[in-house]
Homo-oligomer: A and B are copies of this chain.
């Protein structure tokens, strides 16, 4: 296997990978090599451009930390995340749609009771969220596990604070025996995805803004149902038509109702503004 040129190299790499025992992995790698090489041939990639690409990917990797995932940002801003989400969630029409996972999920978040204030001191206007978790036939899903996470009024997640102790604006809870859930927090605002790193530089070079419309992340799961990773978006938010990560789905946009003052959903009288919303999730049955 000598003297490979820009055309013969592709088959040579695929043949070298033929000892991969897992059929699926071998297939994925053959397709990856094929498309990577075809890209480089189609654009006649130069050595300088290849070097720039190596430098860029290295910088993306180097800025990653346990709480910063720049490769997910890259996947999000290149539309790969939306593509992968879309093609893996074909389901009945009345099911709640999935959207991108994003880089701010945290594992092992503590469980709280329904009705808890999950903001844990985060800054923003009080926000009361409620709804139900049901299956496609309308059946309530008792005790469904609901994880929520969101930014604050300045657009930052808790994990972006280097001095963070504990969780803010994120929690896991369980729906009640009728599949109902409710919690209090603060209202997340629009925010730019972290743009002080290589992906931010890329967006700037591409004359693209880094902003996302206001949203609240959810991950829902229950035995016998497909896990759902999604957001709810605020109707009327900026950037609904130009989300930096291509994640908006009309069915996930809902009214976040502003109240100047009055009685909160938990029966407290307040002279200050608060916001309420309701979103009812429908989970797909797990595939066998």
Contact = CB atoms under 8 A, between A and B. Distances in A.
A91 interface: no
Contacts of A101: 47
Given A19-B207, A28-B49, A54-B72, A246 B79 contact: no
Given A58-B61, A64-B62, A87 B36 contact: no
Nearest to A42: B31
Contacts of A33: 78-79
SS of A interface (majority): helix
Contacts of A246: 1, 4, 9, 12-13, 16
A248 B1 CA distance: 8
Contact of A206 (B19, B34, B87): B19
Contact of A2 (B46, B79, B205, B248): B248
Contact of A88 (B9, B37, B47, B243): B47
A2 B134 CA distance: 25
A35 interface: yes
Contacts of A75: 50, 54
A21 B79 contact: no
A47 B83 CA distance: 10
A288 interface: no
B2 A249 contact: yes
A165 interface: no
Interface in A23-73: 25, 27-29, 31-47, 49-50, 54, 57-62, 64, 69, 71-72
Nearest to A8: B86
Interface residues of A, number: 74
A208 B16 contact: yes
Contacts of A47: 84-85, 88, 101
Contact of A3 (B36, B242, B249): B249
8 contacts: A6-B86, A13-B79, A17-B208, A19-B208, A25-B205, A34-B39, A41-B83, A57-B60
Given A33-B78, A61-B71, 16 more contacts: A6-B84, A6-B86, A9-B83, A9-B246, A10-B79, A13-B78, A25-B205, A29-B206, A31-B43, A35-B42, A37-B80, A40-B84, A47-B88, A54-B75, A57-B60, A59-B61
